[in-house]
Amino acid sequence: DTQIGERGVLLSGGQKQRIAIARAFIKNAPIVILDEATSALDNKSEAIVQKAIDNLMADRTVFVIAHRLSTVHNADKIVVVNYGKIAEIGTHDELVAKPDSIYASLYRAQLS
């Protein structure tokens, strides 16, 4: 048995995020909201969690709020919100193909 403390106080941010994603799997909810689901993870953990998220998305409606674009790369539809308004809508490939798009600019910045 592992001690996690009351309300998980002994868990790291990444551990808490992984537990929250596991709960979504177990609950089998038809609608899932992931708000910065990989923000507290290192690159290796992010890749593992992203694979789990991709599996979680199957046959569900999933809203992903993210600054790390790797989290939304495989989404059916990406909605870019800028200053509280919808600025762009498309798939990853569609948005990256537009050189002056906000998404493409963010994507290039995250690659470097």
- The pLDDT assigned to 1 comes to 62
Full DSSP string of 8-54? GTTS-HHHHHHHHHHHHHHHT-SEEEEESTTTT--HHHHHHHHHHHH
Cα–chain-centroid distance for residue 27? 18
Please tell me the distance from the alpha carbon of residue 56 to that of residue 21, in angstroms, as a whole number.
Answer: 9
Task: Give me the pLDDT at residue 97, please.
Answer: 97
Mark the ranges of the chain whose per-residue pLDDT is less than 50: none
C-alpha span between 37 and 9 (Å, rounded): 18
**75 in the Ramachandran plot: left (φ > 0), alpha (ψ -120 to 50) or beta?**
beta
pTM of the model: 0.72
Rounded Cα distance between 18 and 108, Å, is 28
pLDDT at 28: 83
What type of residue sits at position 48?
I
pLDDT at 7: 67
Separation of first and last alpha carbons in the chain? 42
